[in-house]
Amino acid sequence: MSTEKKVIQEFVLEQDNELRFEVESKNEKVYLTLKSGLAEVFGTELVKAKTYEFTSGAKVAVFTWHGCVIEVKGKTDVIYTAKETPMVIYSNCHAALELMRMEAEKDNKRGPIAMLVGPCDVGKSTVTKILLNYAVRMTRRPIFVDLDVGQGHISIPGTIGALMIERPASIDEGFSQEAPLVYNFGHKAPEPNTSLYQIVVSQLANTVKERLEVNKKTRSSGVIINTGGWIKGSGYRQLLDSAKAFEVDVIMVLDQERLYNELVRDMPQFVKIIFLPKSGGVVERSKSIRSESRDQRIREYFYGTPKNSLYPHSFEVKFPEVKIYKVGAPALPDSCLPLGMKADDHMTKLVLLTPNAGLLHHILAVSFSENEEDIISSHVAGFVCVSMIDNERQTITLLSPQPKPLPNNILVLSELQFMDTH
Ligand code: ADP
């Protein structure tokens, strides 16, 4: 039994103040309770006297519009109160989007399609979450789109997706994951295959636009799109293409004036470009922390969170029972290409793989497509992980959230790997 006493600290926050803390040490737990007043974490209101639990890796800001008293129990690595925050500016953005939604509702038109852009670690995902939470607290039903393949806020890393938001994010578990629409890209950054990235983004955009057509409430609520931090060179052109595919009305640029000016120059006039300052609280993440949090996301996909454990299944499939594809074939020199084929077409070519040891620990997307032609443009049913390949018995052992049988025998290889240490 630990003899160490839990540290209990009380913080009295004035209006517009923010209490920021980080939990870094492994196996450490920090408990947060709102004693009095009103407060929110990234747009989700805290319930008075309820205790919230945060584990290693958490970087949290408790903001109050009116003043409050907060109790924090447990060992935090950093904890301080900030008096300067950009929350009023973020809240003004929400108010502007809300006006657009009211107009849209009146005329039965499409509400604002807003996109958050900026370099890495400026708070894009956090502002996206704040704006979605504020919208849903006003009884809107916006669609959250995540184009950031690096972290995967909707599904696992290496994917993009959309989720209809029906209630505020839970403080410790995020947005509830009911029926997300997920497309597999298979890399943790768009660079390795920009042709494929563009195809899946356009496909997602079309499906999201269809959903806006069929649901009146969602149509007027609009869409909020989070993007990755690749904004230079072809990353910038990629952003322009994504903005075009979703037919955005508003682009919010976090922290980078150069990007803001480029977008003002290159986007059509009817698209509003807004510059937003970054919060001083946003924490920079090193490469290793990013990679750890990717691992954590995949682990959570299979095993759930401490509060909500999941029990994945492990089963064997015989080699002929599944068809495993890889997207992108080795490049051929121009002179060897068939007539009319472009050099980068090979990046979206499907290659049927013979199961081999190279697949070990890789994530495979379970496609919804019924034939080879539709694989790239189909969204996915879910993911499995290859935990063993037995060449002699011709079997693959898969870790899967669902028991056998697989919903489809078409599987697509992802570059992402997961070492199951359970
Ligand atoms: P981006 O999407 O631009 O890469 P994030 O929104 O993911 O950035 O923010 C990076 C990290 O900073 C996240 O862990 C987030 O929880 C944390 N963070 C964001 N805003 C604040 C804040 N005001 N105070 C403390 N931590 C914050």
ipTM score: 0.99
- The pick from 63, 126, 128 for probing ligand 1's pocket by mutation, whose C-beta has the most ligand atoms within 8 angstroms, reads 126
Q: Give the pLDDT score at 14.
A: 98
152-156 long-range contacts, CB within 8 A, separation 24+: 152/294, 152/297, 153/125, 153/226, 154/180, 154/182, 155/180, 155/182, 155/301, 155/383, 156/297, 156/298, 156/301, 156/363, 156/383, 156/416
pLDDT exceeds cutoff 80 at 32: yes
Q: How far is the CA of 127 from the centre of ligand 1 (A)?
A: 9
Cβ–Cβ < 8 Å for 384, 410: no
- The pick from 59, 172, 256 for probing ligand 1's pocket by mutation, whose C-beta has the most ligand atoms within 8 angstroms, reads 59
Is residue 288 packed enough to be buried (19+ CB in 10 Å), middle (13-18) or exposed (0-12)? Answer: exposed
Q: Give the pLDDT score at 332.
A: 63
Structure tokens at 390: 């037995």
DSSP bridge partners of 234 = none
Q: Is the peptide bond before 268 cis (omega within 30 degrees of 0)?
A: no
Cβ–Cβ < 8 Å for 127, 239: no
Task: For ligand 1, say whether the CB of 419 is within 6 Å of any of its atoms.
Answer: no
Name the residue with tokens 């939604």. 101
Q: Give the pLDDT score at 3.
A: 39
Q: Give the pLDDT score at 248.
A: 98
254-260 long-range contacts, CB within 8 A, separation 24+: 254/116, 254/117, 254/118, 254/122, 254/123, 254/124, 254/127, 254/278, 255/118, 255/119, 255/122, 255/123, 256/118, 256/119, 256/122, 256/231, 259/117, 259/118, 259/119, 259/231
Q: How confident is the model over 6-15, as a mean pLDDT?
A: 93
Cβ–Cβ < 8 Å for 376, 326: no
Task: For ligand 1, say whether the CB of 283 is within 6 Å of any of its atoms.
Answer: yes
Cβ–Cβ < 8 Å for 348, 196: yes
Q: Is the dihedral of CA 140, 143, 149, 151 positive or negative?
A: positive
User: The sheet that has 59-63: what strands, in order across it?
Assistant: 44-45, 40-41, 59-63, 18-22, 78-82
CA–CA separation, 40 and 45 (whole Å): 4
CATH fourth-level superfamily of 87-276: P-loop containing nucleotide triphosphate hydrolases (3.40.50.300)
- The pick from 42, 85, 283 for probing ligand 1's pocket by mutation, whose C-beta has the most ligand atoms within 8 angstroms, reads 283
Q: Give the pLDDT score at 359.
A: 96
CA–CA separation, 369 and 380 (whole Å): 8
b/e burial code for range 136-171 (CB count within 10 A of at least 16 → b): beeebbbbbbbbbbbbbbbbbbbbbbbbbbeebbeb
**DSSP, res 139:** T
By residue count, the chain amounts to 422
Q: Give the pLDDT score at 338.
A: 65
In tens, the pLDDT along 223-247 reads 999 999 999 999 999 999 999 999 9
Q: Give the pLDDT score at 57.
A: 86
Cβ–Cβ < 8 Å for 153, 296: no
| Helix (H) or strand (E) run with residue 276 in it | strand 272-276
Q: Give the pLDDT score at 6.
A: 66
Which CATH number describes the domain made up of 8-84?
2.60.120.1030
Q: Give the pLDDT score at 206.
A: 97
**DSSP, res 188:** S
Q: Measuring CA to CA, which residue among 377, 379, 376, 364 is closest to residue 409?
A: 364
Q: How far is the CA of 120 from the centre of ligand 1 (A)?
A: 10
Domain boundaries, the chain: 8-84, 87-276, 311-417
Q: What are phi and psi of 73, to 5 degrees?
A: -120, 130
pLDDT class for 422, splitting at 50, 70, 90?
A: confident
Q: What is the pTM of this model?
A: 0.94
In tens, the pLDDT along 294-346 reads 999 999 999 998 778 999 999 999 999 999 999 987 766 666 666 666 665 78
Pairwise pLDDT comparison (336 vs 8), residue with the higher score:
8
End-to-end CA distance of the chain: 24
Instruction: Choose the weakest-confidence range: 121-130, 192-201, 212-221, 286-295.
Output: 286-295
Task: For ligand 1, say whether the CB of 76 is within 6 Å of any of its atoms.
Answer: no
Task: For ligand 1, say whether the CB of 125 is within 6 Å of any of its atoms.
Answer: yes
Give how far Cα 386 sits from Cα of 206, 237, 321, 358, 412, Å: 32, 35, 14, 10, 12
pLDDT exceeds cutoff 90 at 173: no
Q: How confident is the model over 80-108, as a mean pLDDT?
A: 97
pLDDT exceeds cutoff 50 at 2: no
Q: Give the pLDDT score at 283.
A: 86
The percentage of the chain sitting over the pLDDT mark of 70, rounded to a whole number, equals: 95
pLDDT class for 1, splitting at 50, 70, 90?
A: very low
Task: For ligand 1, say whether the CB of 20 is within 6 Å of any of its atoms.
Answer: yes
In tens, the pLDDT along 352-399 reads 999 999 999 999 999 999 888 899 999 999 999 999 999 999 999 999
pLDDT class for 144, splitting at 50, 70, 90?
A: very high
In tens, the pLDDT along 201-228 reads 999 999 999 999 999 999 999 999 999 9
| Helix (H) or strand (E) run with residue 244 in it | helix 234-246
Does the domain at residues 311-417 carry the CATH identifier 3.40.50.720? Answer: no
